[in-house]
Chain A
Amino acid sequence: MSTYSMKDIEWAKINKDVLASLESPRALFWVVLAVCALLVLCGVAAEVYQYNEGLGVAPMDRPHFWQLYISNFVFWIGMSHSGTLLSAILLLTKADWRKPIYRFAEAMTLFSILTAAIFPVIHLGRVWNMYWVLPYPNERGIWPNFRSPLLWDAAAITTYATRSALFLSVGMSPALAICQDNARGWRKKLYTALSMGWMGRASEWMAFRKTYVLIACFLVPLAVSVHSIVASDFAMSIMPDWHITSFPPYFVAGALYSGCAAIITLFVMLRYLFKFEAYMTTEIMDKTAKLTFAIAMVWNFLNLGEYASIWYSNDMFEKEVLLQKFFGPYAPVVWGMLICATVAPFAMAFEKFRHNMWAMFWLSLVLQLGMWLERFQIVSPPLASNHEPWTWAVVWPGTVQLTLTAASFGWFTMLFLIFCKVFPSVSMYEVKEMVFHRRHASSRAEMEDIGKIKDEVVRSEEGLA
């Protein structure tokens, strides 16, 4: 494998290849899309049934007041985090290998937030009153409870969703201008509107760079804060095994972990469906896998730290939950999680494995399964063995909850595939930059000239204006 294999791609070919992805994906694309749409329909049916009958059909009961909906919520919010990591943090640290893959990672962020946002809504007992959680002005002067982590959730998620959508659309505007030139019909109108009159002038580029980095700077703290707040849904409670100080970093690490695994999955999927083999190279996969491996180790460390702190605290209630987790009715979930999320990532330690696309695809699914089980074992086992032994009960999620879970995966994949069909999922201008830099990586002097040329162009443009 040559590190600089991408340097031979012609610039016009980049445009052509990416624009082709808007036109003719492989036949499998339509199959996957249809399956996803079907899953979403099943989910809608399940939700209508649950809405009419009550949450008891989920089934939920005492003490399992929360179940899969909340674990799914944590899972999807978690998944959104690595998109931000890839697009914002790696942008600021100038890791250029992110360039061909960050656009879809950002889209993944947005759509997984949109998927996550479904769950707190459908899990409410009275969905029709959900807007009461928001601090809107009303004639009775009633405020929501600012002490409640659920309110922080609502604030954090809406901020995050807005910010991610903004980042995505701003970052996409130069690319959309290219699309606009080649499109007809409704696409032309859409791209014209979204590219916001992008002309590609040097002054525009400079303003664009500044804006983009600025939004990225705002996004970085969000990547930490949003999942910390989700963690405080649990950590702020007094339930044994939820009330853990290390939950926020543990959740953030878990979020990045499952998110990176999702990026690998979508990486391989897009590469195949839209024929992006020339851009999504094994080199990039190698780097993504290494990143995932590092984050996996951080997560494992925090997980072990949590077990150790519970064990040595010798708190009666917490220890009971921990023992129940490992040897109780939920043991298959916990051991499954440990196999999938602790043992499996070690495969990524081998270079040969990292360079095999389909092996990485299946591994990423295993990692995601592990992280999904992790969210389930965070929510359910502590409820099953809480402070009050009289209420101890084990309940497994039933058809309605499982259908809605499957539907959420369908919903996410559907939105994502539609996005990739309508918008360029590889950033054209940044890939061009990357190709350019790699072509000229040897001559530093030339790079410095570019800066001078840029200044001149800007000056001349200012004169024109």
Chain B
Amino acid sequence: MALKRMLENWSRLRQQDYYADEPYMWGMSIDLNKCTGCGACVTACYAENNLPVVGKEHCGRGHSMHWLRIERYWGEPDDTPEIDQEVASDYPERGAHYIPMMCQQCNHAPCEPVCPVVATYHSPDGLNTQVYNRCVGSRYCANNCPYKVRYFNFFNFWEGLPHPLEMQLNPDLSVRDKGVMEKCTFCVQRIRSAKDSAEDAGHPYHVEDGTLMTACQQSCPTQAIVFGNLRDDESKVKGLWASHKVELDRYEQEKPEDIRGYRVLEELNVEPCVMYLDRVRDTEA
């Protein structure tokens, strides 16, 4: 059956960009100038995607399941004057960079070819999809992910969830069992329902920009996160990518230095779909 399908679609399978004709490719832009590191997006992600709260002890051992995390870095630009040590110890957050890091939905995802059972594959709308039911837990994908944004259920974290708490779980997606890999899906349940609504409204291949928001985008108080369709010329995210001269199909962007757009680790040629806008700091302040 699979072989028959393969033979029938051989020319399409041999195509360089398999999903080139698809109307959707979901992408994101995150403005680090606007990010305050408040963590609202992380909380929203936990609520939306049924992420288990593992507790302090597990968190310390690297078992936390935050699909979206705020990374903090204290690397200073070279020309920064020394931070006053006394002030710094009182306010350790001072001078930190915040980077919200989630699955970058790479178009050349290193996690996809290594999965022995094809539990992770690329969907036609540009998502790096994880099929929980198919996953056997070899964890090769997580090793091969340069961003380390894949999370493994090292335990059954849902065991012993006290009674009314299961009522707060999102019914639109499953909870994951022990031994399964999971990661950010760009809120695929929202994407699916938005597509369905668009179809019901009579325009099946066009989700209106702005009608679809990911949980993190929705909850960001400074609107640092913009999500949308990179194949839609009208979309805000496409406009941001264009104005910051970040293009797909590149491992190095040709652009002047004062333009802030970049993709994390794009030199690895993994084609991430998330663009970050660098933080501009007044180093004299």
Contacts and interface: CB of A to CB of B under 8 A. Distances in A.
- A in complex with B: yes
Interface residues of A, number: 48
A133 B178 contact: no
A145 B138 contact: no
Interface stretch (A223-231, A295-303, A359-367, A382-390): A382-390
A390 B116 contact: no
A66 B139 contact: yes
Contact of B180 (A57, A64, A125): A125
B138 A150 contact: yes
Contacts of B117: 132-133, 144-145
Contacts of A143: 2, 118
Contacts of A127: 179
A125 B61 contact: no
A148 interface: yes
A62 B156 CA distance: 16
Contacts of A154: 116
A388 B148 CA distance: 7
Contact of A133 (B136, B142, B155): B136
Interface in B249-285: 265, 268, 270
Contacts of A93: none
B28 interface: no
Contact of B136 (A59, A64, A126): A126
B144 A124 contact: no
B143 A237 contact: yes
Contacts of B2: 141-143
Interface in B77-125: 101, 110, 113-118
A367 to B, nearest CB: 28
Contacts, number: 144
Contacts of A55: 137, 152, 154, 179
Contacts of A56: 58, 61, 63, 154-155
B224 to A, nearest CB: 18
Contacts of B221: none
A124 B153 CA distance: 12
A124 B136 contact: yes
A406 interface: no
A331 interface: no
Contacts of B62: 61-64, 391, 393, 395
B19 interface: no
B205 interface: no
B227 to A, nearest CB: 22
A330 B72 CA distance: 25
B113 A65 contact: no
B268 A238 contact: yes
A336 interface: no
Nearest to B108: A238
A249 interface: no
Interface string A101-129: 00000000000000000001001111101
B257 to A, nearest CB: 19
Interface string A62-74: 1111100000000
A150 B111 CA distance: 13
A125 B110 contact: no
A391 B265 CA distance: 15
B52 interface: no
Residue of B1, B152, B268 most packed against chain A (CB within 10 A): B152
A125 B143 contact: no
B199 interface: no
B147 interface: yes
A151 interface: yes
B263 to A, nearest CB: 13
B237 interface: no
B136 to A, nearest CB: 5
B138 A124 contact: yes
Contact of B61 (A61, A63, A145, A237): A61
B75 to A, nearest CB: 9
B181 A150 contact: no
7 contacts: A55-B137, A62-B148, A132-B134, A141-B2, A150-B114, A150-B140, A388-B147
Given A125-B178, A132-B116, 10 more contacts: A56-B58, A65-B142, A120-B138, A125-B137, A126-B137, A132-B134, A133-B116, A237-B143, A386-B146, A388-B101
> 3 shortest A-B CB distances, which residue pairs?
A125-B137, A125-B179, A56-B154
